[in-house]
Amino acid sequence: MNSITQDLKRFISGDVINTPEVLTEVSQDFGGIFQKRPQVVVRPQSVNDIVQTIKYAHQKGLVISSRAAGHSLSGQPLNQDGIVLDMKGLNQITEIQKDHLWFKADAGASWGQIVNACIPNGLVPPVLTNYFDVSVGGTHSAGGIGAASFARGSQADNCLGVEVVTAEGEIVWCTPEENSELFYHVLCGYGEFGIITKLQHKLSIFPAFTRTYLLFYDDIDALLHDKRVLVTEQRVDHLVSFPIPCLQGVSRVTGTLQPLIQWFYTLRITVEANSCDTIDDEEILSGLNFYRRIHTEDLSFERFIEPMIQVDNVPSIAHPWMDVFLPESIAKNYIETTLNKLPSFLDISKTQMGCFCLVNRNNKMPLFRLPDEELIIGFGIYPSILKSQLPPILAELEKLSNISLEMGGKRYLTGWVEFNTQQWQLQFGDYWSKVHEIKKKYDPKGILNSGFFQNEEVTPSNSHYEYVAR
């Protein structure tokens, strides 16, 4: 047993573990791209355990990383040679307020737990991600977006208060009014500015029914036009679209046979209502330019929100997922450029993709960076590939990431992110110096997380790459 483990065991009531199995388990995240190995994992049983661990890390100069469900894609909760705080055990839902429409829960609670507890009360969080096995602390540290975000913002935008343990080991309650600077930086702060221990979050009364329309497009201009209409006129409550490749034949122009791919798009829109009889299809679909209405589906609200995606975390597979936020004015150009390039380096028949919308005025979070225009088109590529395929695929994805930043887009930082200083500056713009200022103010010794927002130079001695040491 190393001395850190021995020391911590003396004053931590939860588990302090340094077995090879547990250290290996927390050495990766869902992304499977990066690897870091801490010296010890602390599973706090109380907020006081977190305070004590932070004070110890502070005193010893050790880096401490918060980790919940480990579903990040770029090693955000990983830690080299320090302490991992495994937040999953702190997962109680402490209060559901029907009259005031909010819940309070520990940061390690999953969204599945929250939904299961709220639904019998006729309540639901305003924004849900498309996957529930992630923690409330984890998504508030990133943003947390879903098909309703264009109208309701991110999950962080719907947060009413957070209890935070600071890098000095103090427990602070933060709201938009009280300790507001810390509130606005632990949210979407990836554990860099404080550890979130509890959250207070809005709830909505949910309607009985939903009607979903699947609309098919053969033209991206028509799709983008219709998204603008639906979002600005607030005709629907949920909106998401998917590019669909269709092999049309082959071209022989270059001497070798090249597949000819035509991209189509499906738009999935949903309206909520207390009775299906009150939904007027004509009003919702009027003036839209889809090629064909493929399907219409009425579901109870509870059925509608059930997540549709299922994921396997196979050790040999990596998930270099990438979401970009595009100003509406460049969305067509960027999406077409990307869709043309993808088949040259990814098996597009097996690669999930998705498009969503956001509206700038709903974003209150300074660390959740959006382009300057009002309507934002989100575009995500979600490859699942063999780890051995990572180097060439990451090189191509980096080109697409750079194009998005140079065109005025921003990245959603949950995905695969490997920025140098210049790329961080493009991401944060004028706010980049403020990020450093806030980090210095709230974590002067740099003990919280391992500098995700910094330009960490990667050398063989501190390499966290599993696939290659650059």
Among the candidate windows 118-126, 189-197, 249-257, 393-401, which touches ligand FAD by CB under 6 A? Answer: 189-197
Q: Does 76 participate in binding ligand FAD (rule CB under 6 A)?
A: yes
Among the candidate windows 4-12, 63-71, 326-334, 371-379, which touches ligand FAD by CB under 6 A? Answer: 63-71
Q: Supply the DSSP string of 187-238, one letter for each residue.
A: TTSTTSS-EEEEEEEE-EEPPSEEEEEEEEES-HHHHHHHHHHHHHTT--SE
Reduced DSSP (H G I as helix, E B as strand, rest coil) percent helix, strand, coil of the chain, to 5: 35, 25, 40
Other Cβ atoms less than 10 A from the Cβ of 281: the count is 12
Torsion angle (degrees, nearest 10) of CA 134, 135, 138, 142: 60
Q: How far is the CA of 61 from the CAs of 57, 70, 160, in angstroms?
A: 6, 24, 33
Other Cβ atoms less than 10 A from the Cβ of 458: the count is 14
Member of 16, 63, 68, 359 binding ligand FAD (CB under 6 A): 68
Member of 12, 64, 115, 134 binding ligand FAD (CB under 6 A): 134
| 457 vs 169: CA distance, rounded Å | 29
Q: Does 86 participate in binding ligand FAD (rule CB under 6 A)?
A: no
| 202 vs 98: CA distance, rounded Å | 11
Q: Does 131 participate in binding ligand FAD (rule CB under 6 A)?
A: yes
Q: Does 141 participate in binding ligand FAD (rule CB under 6 A)?
A: yes
Residue 399 CB, nearest approach to ligand FAD (Å): 23
Residue 447 CB, nearest approach to ligand FAD (Å): 13
- Look up residue 257 and give its two tokens: 């046979």
Residue 77 CB, nearest approach to ligand FAD (Å): 4
Closer to ligand FAD by Cβ: residue 165 or 330: 165
Closer to ligand FAD by Cβ: residue 182 or 346: 182
Among the candidate windows 144-152, 273-281, 335-343, 462-470, which touches ligand FAD by CB under 6 A? Answer: 144-152
**∠ CA 414-141-318, rounded to 5°:** 25
| 76 vs 73: CA distance, rounded Å | 7
Residue 394 CB, nearest approach to ligand FAD (Å): 18
| 339 vs 342: CA distance, rounded Å | 5
Member of 146, 161, 207, 327 binding ligand FAD (CB under 6 A): 146
Q: Does 139 participate in binding ligand FAD (rule CB under 6 A)?
A: yes
Among the candidate windows 127-135, 202-210, 275-283, 367-375, which touches ligand FAD by CB under 6 A? Answer: 127-135
Q: Does 44 participate in binding ligand FAD (rule CB under 6 A)?
A: no
Q: How far is the CA of 276 from the CAs of 269, 271, 362, in angstroms?
A: 15, 10, 29
Closer to ligand FAD by Cβ: residue 105 or 426: 105
Residues 192-251 that bind ligand FAD (CB under 6 A): 195-196
Q: Does 113 participate in binding ligand FAD (rule CB under 6 A)?
A: no
Residue 6 CB, nearest approach to ligand FAD (Å): 25
Q: Does 143 participate in binding ligand FAD (rule CB under 6 A)?
A: yes
Whose CA is closest to 325, among 353, 360, 365?
Answer: 360
Closer to ligand FAD by Cβ: residue 126 or 143: 143
Q: Count how many residues are written for the chain.
A: 470
Among the candidate windows 39-47, 60-68, 95-103, 397-405, which touches ligand FAD by CB under 6 A? Answer: 60-68
| 289 vs 224: CA distance, rounded Å | 10
Largest CA distance in the chain: 72
Beta bridge partners of 172: 164
Member of 36, 67, 104, 185 binding ligand FAD (CB under 6 A): 67
Member of 27, 179, 414, 423 binding ligand FAD (CB under 6 A): 414
Q: Does 114 participate in binding ligand FAD (rule CB under 6 A)?
A: no
The size of the interface with ligand FAD (CB under 6 A), counted in residues, is 36
* HSE, side-chain direction, 13 A CA sphere, residue 378: 28
Residue 317 CB, nearest approach to ligand FAD (Å): 12
Other Cβ atoms less than 10 A from the Cβ of 175: the count is 13
Q: Does 138 participate in binding ligand FAD (rule CB under 6 A)?
A: yes
Closer to ligand FAD by Cβ: residue 444 or 451: 451
Are 177 and 269 within 8 A, CB to CB? no
Q: Does 378 participate in binding ligand FAD (rule CB under 6 A)?
A: no
| 217 vs 265: CA distance, rounded Å | 5
State whether residue 244 is helix, strand or coil: strand
Residue nearest to ligand FAD (CB): 138
The binding site for ligand FAD (CB under 6 A) comprises: 29-30, 65-72, 76-77, 87, 107, 129-131, 134-135, 137-139, 141-146, 190-191, 195-196, 309, 311, 414, 449
